[in-house]
Amino acid sequence: MRGNAVAEESVIDVRSIPKPERHPLIIKAYEELEVGTGLILVNDHVPEGLRVEMVREYAEAVGWEPLESTEDEARVRIIRRAATPAPRVVLDVAELTETVEDSGSVWQLPTQHRDLDANVIALSPGGEIREHTGPSLDVLIHVLAGAGTLETETGTIDLSPGQIVWLPRRSRRRFLADAEAGLQYFSVHQRKQGLSITARS
């Protein structure tokens, strides 16, 4: 595995740069670093928001070392530890509540720079996603908890925990949750706008 040693560093002073432009500038500079090198960021405040954003996007691939600072000058060393964002656990489904009172998305893949959309959808007992034509891309769902049905143009599929269901692009579909147990499933697909989920009328 690669070490964390810093071979060379540049200094980026963003104090005179408008705030909306700072994060994109710093992230671009980080992504241009060679693995094992770093940069020194000089800011007019402790950049906690930037740290949270970069850890969310890159996880352990980014190194963050606060340096000696003053009241008017906050300094931090940012190190590129790996060529790509680090693999990580993003969700433990065992921690999700199996029953919900309201229908909707209870978890979304948090990173911004990604090729996938991933969600955990929970339908309250008797809740539904009304009949609609799916997007122009394939979707996989993994049933996590509860029970329900998937209505298609050709019939009805009973849903139960453990199943993986393929939804071909632009296929007609309607989800209906069990009247007592509700329904919870994981959905993954290429990035797109989210579905509208409603309570059953």
- 1-36: per-residue pLDDT in tens? 444 444 558 999 999 999 999 999 999 999 999 999
- How many whole angstroms separate alpha carbon 62 and alpha carbon 32? 13
Question: Looking at the structure, do residues 174 and 138 belong to the same domain, yes or no?
Answer: yes
The candidate with the shortest Cα–Cα distance to 187, out of 88, 118, 86, 101, is 118
User: Domain limits at 127?
Assistant: 93-190
Please count the structural domains in the chain: 2
Spell out a b/e string for 26-63, using b for 16 or more CB atoms within 10 Å of the CB, else e: bbeebeebeebebbbbebeeebeebeeebeebbbebbb
Question: Looking at the structure, do residues 98 and 46 belong to the same domain, yes or no?
Answer: no
Question: Looking at the structure, do residues 64 and 150 belong to the same domain, yes or no?
Answer: no
> Is there a domain that residue 197 lies in?
no
Question: Looking at the structure, do residues 103 and 131 belong to the same domain, yes or no?
Answer: yes
> Is there a domain that residue 170 lies in?
yes
- pLDDT tens-digit series, residues 115-144: 999 999 999 999 999 999 999 999 999 999
> Is there a domain that residue 142 lies in?
yes
Domain boundary among 32, 53, 80: 80
> Is there a domain that residue 85 lies in?
no
Indicate yes or no: pTM above 0.85. no
Question: Looking at the structure, do residues 53 and 98 belong to the same domain, yes or no?
Answer: no
> Is there a domain that residue 186 lies in?
yes
Contact 166, 187 (CB under 8 A): no
